[in-house]
Amino acid sequence: MKSVETRVSKRIYKAVSEKAFIPMRDGVKLGANLVRPDRPDPNSRYPALFTYDPYRATEGDSLPRLGYFAEHGYYGVHVDLRGTGMSQGREVPNQYSEQEWRDAEDTIAWLAAQPWSNGNVGMFGTSYSGYNSIQLAMLKPPALKAIIPTFSADDVYTDCIVYYDGALQCEALARWPFFMIALSGLPGPPDYNYDTPEAQYRIEQEPWIFEMLRHQTNDAFWQRLSLRPHYEAIKIPVMMVAGWLDQCPDSFSRMMEHLTVPTRAIVGPWTHGIGLPGPAINIQYESLRWWDRWLKGRR
Is the model's pTM score more than 0.85? Answer: yes
- Cβ(48)–Cβ(14) below 8 Å: no
**What's residue 13's pLDDT?**
63
Q: How confident is the model at residue 42 (pLDDT cuts 50, 70, 90)?
A: very high
Edge-to-edge strand ranges of the sheet holding 144-150: 2-8, 11-23, 29-36, 75-80, 46-53, 117-126, 144-150, 238-243, 263-268
224-254 tens-digit pLDDT: 999 999 999 999 999 999 999 998 888 999 9
CATH (one of 3.40.630.30, 3.40.50.1820, 3.40.50.720, 3.30.420.10) for 2-154+229-295: 3.40.50.1820
**pLDDT, greater one: 162 or 192:** 162
pLDDT band at residue 189 under the 50/70/90 scheme: low
What lies within 8 Å, CB to CB, of 167 at 6+ separation is none
For the chain, the domains span 2-154+229-295
Instruction: Return the pLDDT at 12.
Output: 60
Q: Which of 140, 120, 97, 133 is nearest to 234 (CA)?
A: 140
The 10s digit of each residue's pLDDT in 257-276 is 999 999 999 999 998 888 77
Closest CA to 110 of 100, 99, 119, 101: 119
Region of poorest pLDDT, from 44-48, 135-139, 249-253, 272-276? 272-276
Going by pLDDT thresholds of 50, 70 and 90, the confidence category of residue 220 is: very high
With the CA atoms of 125, 152, 180 and 95 taken in that order, what torsion angle do they form, in degrees rounded to the nearest 10? 90
Q: Which residue has the higher pLDDT, 90 or 112?
A: 112
